[in-house]
Amino acid sequence: MALSGVELGKLIKEARKASRLTQAQLAERLDLSTYQHISKWERGGVRPTLPNLRKLSRVLGVDFLVLEEGDGKDSAQGTSALRLPVGIDTIRSPIVREVLEAATRPGAFRSFGREAHPNDMWRWIYDKCFDLGARVQDLKELDPIRDLCLEPTE
């Protein structure tokens, strides 16, 4: 479940302060014209676009998926991660690689609130890739890996 604008804003503000940056300094690092963008995000008045959310992640050192999905502190014990039978070093798309790397980290699927089924994990991976602008041809790189991971359905 996605965070509300206010919840996302609080996370952005906490990460900015932990990085010891002012709103103006963060805006400059993100190549934004004014610090008011940061202020609006932190108040929850406006959500950052996905490209800006990714920039925030790089500058603040916080995983963009965590910013979007929350930290899962209130979730149940479902803290599974995707286990890949092969490496992802052959994936050419940086978006697809980034999402797969995030999906393999411990606790990646905390927001599910339960132990995640592999089918749910893959649906989430495809959705995240698509949301971040991956092209259909990029997503096709996932098919062989997905086929190795998924249990046969009857």
pLDDT tens column, 5-14: 788 888 888 8
pLDDT tens column, 63-109: 655 555 544 443 333 335 676 666 677 788 888 888 888 887 777 77
**In this predicted model, which residue has the larger pLDDT, 113 or 28?**
28
Whether 47 and 99 map to the same domain: the answer is no
Whether 58 and 108 map to the same domain: the answer is no
| Average pLDDT of the segment spanning 115-137 | 81
Whether 83 and 153 map to the same domain: the answer is yes
Residue 121 lies in a domain: yes
Whether 43 and 101 map to the same domain: the answer is no
Domain that holds residue 15: 5-62
Crossing angle between the packed helical segments 5-18 and 36-43, to the nearest 10 degrees:
120
Sign of CA dihedral 108, 109, 114, 120: negative
Taking the C-alpha atoms of residue 37 and residue 56, their distance in angstroms, rounded to an integer, is 12
Whether 55 and 77 map to the same domain: the answer is no
Q: Hey, what are 8's tokens?
A: 């996302």
Whether 96 and 119 map to the same domain: the answer is yes
Whether 21 and 97 map to the same domain: the answer is no
Whether 57 and 33 map to the same domain: the answer is yes
Whether 35 and 103 map to the same domain: the answer is no
Residue 17 lies in a domain: yes
Identify the CA nearest to 26 among candidates 48, 50, 45: 48
Taking the C-alpha atoms of residue 139 and residue 109, their distance in angstroms, rounded to an integer, is 20
Phi, psi of 113, rounded to the nearest 5 degrees: 75, 10
Number of domains, the chain: 2
- What percent of the chain is predicted at pLDDT more than 70? 71
Contact status, residue 4 vs residue 44, Cβ threshold 8 Å: yes
